[in-house]
Amino acid sequence: MKIGIIGANGYSGIELIRLLLQHPYVSIEVLISHSHHGANIREIYPHLLTLMNHQLEALDIEKTSQKVELMFFATPSGISKNLIPQFQQKGVKCIDVSGDFRLKDPRAYEIWYGGKSPHQKYLQQAVYGLADVAPNEIRSAQIIANPGCYPTAALLGLIPAVKQQIIDPETILIDGKSGVSGSGRKPSLSAHYGEVNENVMAYKLGCHQHTPEIEQQLSAVAGAEIKVTFTTHLVPMTRGIMCTLYGDLTKGISTSEVINLYEAFYEDRPFVRIKPIGEWPATKAVYGSNYCDIGLMVDQRTNRLLIISVIDNLVKGAAGQAVHNLNLMFGWNEETGINQTPIYP
């Protein structure tokens, strides 16, 4: 399978390269970079010195589409919405790691992302690629909207409880914490060492662009509109996301019963691991891997369900899930190329 990556010089792009170099069924044919075209990828990422010898190219849709069967888009939001329709017309399947095709409501896109939404035809054609929840829809897709990092952690933690109606969806609270790689490679004051080190910062309160994505998917599961309170924090680490999720219980249920429910829901999903009673996930336990670890507790005193969900934001929250979607689209074993053991310590 001949593939290409647009935005290959960013963190999600380089993580795609790392995973795809270990994938037995793909060949990386094209690496596209608007800002670094003409350079060799090894000049930007010296760790690839003996692994890869690819020059970054400027985008020429006519030439590029003749070289590949599938294109990954590891671009900032606002770019893929203009490019994917052109690749679709050339018969190239697309996996978009940006946020352009995640929201089905054009008005929501314009409010939360700014600018004009993607063309309605392609927006409706895109399948939301939460690989551990909707594998059957993904298998027949031509365009995959890869979920955001926070939504991946939050949705995998919340969907079983919402689907089984054991929590009141109107009471959902999401406390999210992310490492600095989530903001990308482009230098910024918020990711400056002196700002991040020995510091925890809340950011984008009430206006984080992943909010409508979470609400859209939970509403589809519940069959009714859901709004959530979602607070994000930047913590002084490179990789990882932890979402602490809360919801008021609708029925009497024990922690062990909730764990059994989650284990049954994710029984045949290879990358979701449910922690035993009394054990809690940590970001270090999924570092560098495509796993999502989930811990659960029923707080009898407050009548709330407490859910801890952790992922590596660059793997499960981006490149790893994109490769998982690739495997589903082409009928390969889901774990191909992404079954790495987490890095520890």
What is the per-residue DSSP string for 91-102?
Answer: T-EEEE-SSTTT
Evaluate whether residue 50 is within a structural domain.
Answer: yes
The reported pLDDT for the residue numbered 258 is 98
Average pLDDT of 145-167? 98
Same-domain status, 119 and 204 = no
Q: For residue 89, what are the CA distances in angstroms to 67, 269, 298?
A: 15, 33, 50
Tell me if 301 is assigned to some domain.
yes
ω into residue 345 within 30 of 0, thus cis?
A: yes
pLDDT tens digits for 29-55? Answer: 999 999 899 999 999 999 999 999 999
CATH of the domain at 99: 3.40.50.720
Question: Does the annotation count 149 as an active-site position?
Answer: yes
Angle between helix 149-163 and helix 255-265 axes, rounded to 10 deg: 110
How confident is the prediction for the chain on average, in pLDDT?
Answer: 97
> In this structure, are 188 and 235 located in the same domain?
yes
Has residue 145 got a pLDDT over 90? Answer: yes
Please indicate, yes or no, whether residues 18 and 113 belong to a single structural domain of this protein. Answer: yes
- pLDDT of 189 reads 87
Q: How many domains does the chain have?
A: 2
User: Residue 262 pLDDT more than 90?
Assistant: yes
Considering the domain architecture, whether residues 121 and 164 belong to the same structural domain is answered as no
Residue 155 sits in which domain range?
150-312
Catalytic residue among 149, 207, 243, 292: 149
Q: Average of pLDDT values for 298-307? A: 98
**Mean pLDDT over residues 141-149, rounded?**
98
Q: In terms of domains, do 99 and 185 share one?
A: no
Tell me what pLDDT residue 185 has: 86
Q: Are residues 211 and 165 in the same domain?
A: yes
pLDDT at 27: 97
33 assigned to some structural domain: yes
d(CA 307, CA 304): 10
Task: Examine residue 104 and state whether it is found in any structural domain, yes or no.
Answer: yes
- Residue 188 is predicted with a pLDDT of 86
Answer whether residue 216 is part of any domain: yes
Residues in the chain: 345
Q: Is the pLDDT of residue 186 over 90?
A: no
